[in-house]
Amino acid sequence: MKFGIVVNEGPYTHQAADTAYQFTKAALEKGHEIVRVFFYHDGVNNGTRLTTPPQDERNIVKRWSELAQQHKLDLVVCVAAAQRRGIVDRDEAKRHGKDADNIAAGFRISGLGQLIEAGVLADRLVAFGD
C-alpha cells in the first residue's frame, strides 16, 4: 500500500518527529511504499544539517537522511514554512541573499502542492504533530 507521511513538528521538542520516523520505518519493513514524507510547520526543522545532538541521544536528522538513502525516500520540506524558520538550500540562499545554507542530505525544498499531491497519490496520508 502507498503511504504519505506528514511531519508537523521539529526534532527533539515533540515526540511527533520520532513517532513519524518509527512509523515510516515500520511501514517500509512491512513492504509498504512511502510516496513522500512532507515536512510542514516546525517539521521543516528536521531538515537542517547543523544539529549536533548529545552523543547518547538519537540523531534525528541523520536518521531521516539515512532512511531516505536506503529506501530512496522523497523528503520534502515546505518552502513557505522553511522561509519563516530559516531552512534553506543553495538555491533559496541565493534567491534571498543569504550567505549560508543548512539543508541536510536527502531533503529537498518544494511547494505546498507536494502535500496535496501526496494526499492524492497515497492510499493513506498519516500526519504526526502537536
Site for other proteins, rule CB under 8 A? 1, 3, 6, 8, 12-16, 18-19, 21-23, 25-27, 29-30, 32, 36, 40-41, 56-58, 63, 74, 80-81, 84, 110-117, 119-121, 124-130
Least gap, CB of 108 to its own copies (angstroms): 17
124 and 24 Cβ atoms separated by less than 8 Å: no
CA distance 75 to 35: 9
CA distance 96 to 85: 13
Least gap, CB of 114 to other proteins (angstroms): 7
CA distance 71 to 36: 11
**Joined grid coordinates for residue 100:** 549560508
Give yes or no for residue 15 binding its own copies (CB under 8 A). no
User: Which member of 54, 56, 72, 113 binds its own copies (CB under 8 A)?
Assistant: 54
Q: Which sequence positions are flagged as catalytic?
A: 78
